[in-house]
Amino acid sequence: MNKIANRVKQIEAMAQKTGFPVYSEGKNPLVRGKIATPRKELQQASPKLVSLEEAIRQSGLKDGMTISFHHHFRSGDKVINMVVDKLAEMGFKHLHLAASSLIDVHEPLIAHIRNGIISRISTSGLRGALGAAISHGLMDEPVIFRSHGGRAAAIANGELHIDVAFLGAPSCDSLGNACGYAQGENVKSICGSLGYAKVDAQYADKVVIITDSLMPYPNTPNSISERDVDFVVEVDSIGDAAKISSGAIRDSKNPRDLLLAQTAAKVVINGGYFQNGFSIQTGTGGASLAVVKFIREKMIEKNIKASFALGGITTHMVKLHEEGLIERLIDVQSFDRGAAESLINNRMHKEVSANEYASALEIGSAVHWLDMVILSALEVDVNFNANVLVGSDGVIRGAIGGHPDTAADAALSIIVCPLLRGRIPCVVDEVTTLITPGTSVDVIVTDYGVAVNPNRPEIAERLKVAHVNVVQIHDLKEKARKIIGDADPLPFGERTVGIVMSRDGSVMDIVRNIKDK
């Protein structure tokens, strides 16, 4: 007789042998029993859906722990200030704030640092009053600066351990399926890719999604899966929609930008990598956007198509994609509304995490497969080193971003930089702060000529054949010096206010405090 009752002994024996418990109805507390409530009602009562204060309490956050944020909302972001205000109100101290980047709108952090709520910061960059205050010695602990790829790698390998991630999301359902936009639904704001946040969601001990557009389950597609999310907090507003995704950046009419762009385009077209199936990344400055325009004309003329464009994606790149000139877009951060909307509309527009984008430690990260990148810089020096973080006045005013990642891994890395900005020389003997080492920079495009790294004589040859004005980097530096003269040394103090991490996890440089003159 083959009945369960007759097999009990055998079941028990096998359970004992395999180490599993014997089944008993309702015995495992992790498995939910049957509930008869209509599911729409049940979703609204999702146990993950709590207030911000409750999420913080339940997350187990303690003094001294690490909290993280992303900067996909740019200057529209309200999440960081909202959460840190709440943490201050709840009496937390000595927290480590690890953001993918910090910008002007995060100026209120200055008070929280003074009050001891935040005592350590890790970020890609600092701007505005916060950068200035930290440069002047606001913090006891130096800020740790990492590139986007470097941060993702540090989180993945545990060097940067996140206890609780607070991640703003333009759309999320009550179970935590979060996205930077929403398919077919009206949300208050869209930011497109949530590439930087995806890393935090994957590796943080606890993940809190903060949204102002709570979607019906299931919120599809999602950037962040409910599997990685512990709490969902609904708020009135995560940020200023107009600033989270601005309209397409207008084409520059500045003659200098256009000259730089035209020259950079010549380098792209004649550098040896402009062939069918090439891949490219460009920035968002006036010159970078204009480069796209010039390259586009040449792609059409020569019937050349790109396999993918990478990085921060802009409306300019989307247009080329929609014209069929770029097959795929790989997007860690959507720079404007057009790019964010393209993620909704274009199937070949792919959202990737910062690890998939630029980690030095992942073989598959997209930068490893990049032919060309066009970057800008605050300063470059005669050894082709670049600085994108600290201004010529010694004040932290920029962000590392993906600069060293893309420069190191692209087959041809091009930095576009005017020789002078007002009375500030941009080609100098030695950069104020070393961010991207010269060994990874191949070409520097200025309005006074193009310098090619001596490591890449073949590129210099190709450019000369194409009548590009190839000059020596030392001559550029001399030209700048002749026009501007020699600057007084910067009044740096003895304290270290910033540590620049290389993308491989080693210390590359330090930033010292700047003294008032």
Partner 1 sequence: MFIPGNNPGMMQDAHVYAPDSIMLDLEDSVTLEEKDAARLLVYNALQSVDYGEIEMVVRINPLGSPYGHKDVQAAVKAGAHVIRMPKTETAEEVVELEKAIEQIETSLGCVGRTKIMAAIESAQGVMNAFAIATASKRMMGIALGAEDYCANLKTSRSKEGAELLYARQTIVVAARAAGIDALDTVYSDLNDMDSFRAELRLIKQLGFDGKSIINPRQIEIVNEIFAPTQKEIEKACAILAGIKEAQKRGSGVIAVDGKMVDRPVVMRAQRCIDLAIASGIITKEDVYE
- Residues of the shown chain interacting with partner 1 in the complex, contacts defined by CB under 8 A: 253, 255-256, 258-259, 419-420, 422, 447-448, 467, 479, 483
Quick one: 188 or 256, whose CB is closer to partner 1?
256
Quick one: 327 or 447, whose CB is closer to partner 1?
447
In the complex, the smallest distance separating the C-beta of residue 432 from partner 1, rounded to whole angstroms, is 23
Contact between 314 and 289 (Cβ < 8 Å): yes
DSSP 352-414: --HHHHH-TT-TT-GGGG-SEEEEE-SEEETT--EESSB-TTS-B--B-TTHHHHHHHSSEEE
- Helix %, strand %, coil % of the chain (to 5): 35, 25, 40
Quick one: 146 or 266, whose CB is closer to partner 1?
266
In the complex, the smallest distance separating the C-beta of residue 292 from partner 1, rounded to whole angstroms, is 18
In the complex, the smallest distance separating the C-beta of residue 179 from partner 1, rounded to whole angstroms, is 40
Quick one: 188 or 421, whose CB is closer to partner 1?
421
Contact between 280 and 268 (Cβ < 8 Å): yes
318, containing H or E segment: helix 315-322
In the complex, the smallest distance separating the C-beta of residue 447 from partner 1, rounded to whole angstroms, is 4
In the complex, the smallest distance separating the C-beta of residue 259 from partner 1, rounded to whole angstroms, is 6
In the complex, the smallest distance separating the C-beta of residue 449 from partner 1, rounded to whole angstroms, is 9
In the complex, the smallest distance separating the C-beta of residue 250 from partner 1, rounded to whole angstroms, is 13
In one-letter notation, the amino acid at residue 439 is: T
Quick one: 215 or 267, whose CB is closer to partner 1?
267
In the complex, the smallest distance separating the C-beta of residue 380 from partner 1, rounded to whole angstroms, is 17
Quick one: 240 or 251, whose CB is closer to partner 1?
251
Report the 10 Å Cβ neighbour count for 398. Answer: 23
Contact between 367 and 410 (Cβ < 8 Å): yes
Quick one: 168 or 449, whose CB is closer to partner 1?
449
Quick one: 259 or 411, whose CB is closer to partner 1?
259
In the complex, the smallest distance separating the C-beta of residue 402 from partner 1, rounded to whole angstroms, is 29
Quick one: 65 or 419, whose CB is closer to partner 1?
419
Considering only CA atoms, which of 321, 293, 322 is closest in space to residue 306?
321
Contact between 106 and 130 (Cβ < 8 Å): yes
In the complex, the smallest distance separating the C-beta of residue 255 from partner 1, rounded to whole angstroms, is 4
Question: How many Å apart are CA 141 and CA 121, to the nearest integer?
Answer: 8
Quick one: 321 or 479, whose CB is closer to partner 1?
479
Considering only CA atoms, which of 59, 351, 402, 464 is closest in space to residue 229?
59
Considering only CA atoms, which of 406, 411, 405, 404 is closest in space to residue 389?
404
Quick one: 39 or 467, whose CB is closer to partner 1?
467
Q: Is the dihedral of CA 123, 124, 130, 136 positive or negative?
A: positive
In one-letter notation, the amino acid at residue 390 is: V
Question: How many Å apart are CA 205 and CA 161, to the nearest integer?
Answer: 8
Cis peptide upstream of residue 218 (ω within 30 degrees of 0): yes
DSSP 426-493: SEESS-SS--B-GGG--EEEETTEEEE-TT-HHHHHHHHHTT--EE-HHHHHHHHHHHH-PPPPP-EE
In the complex, the smallest distance separating the C-beta of residue 448 from partner 1, rounded to whole angstroms, is 6
Report the alpha-carbon angle 221-187-286, nearest 5.
90
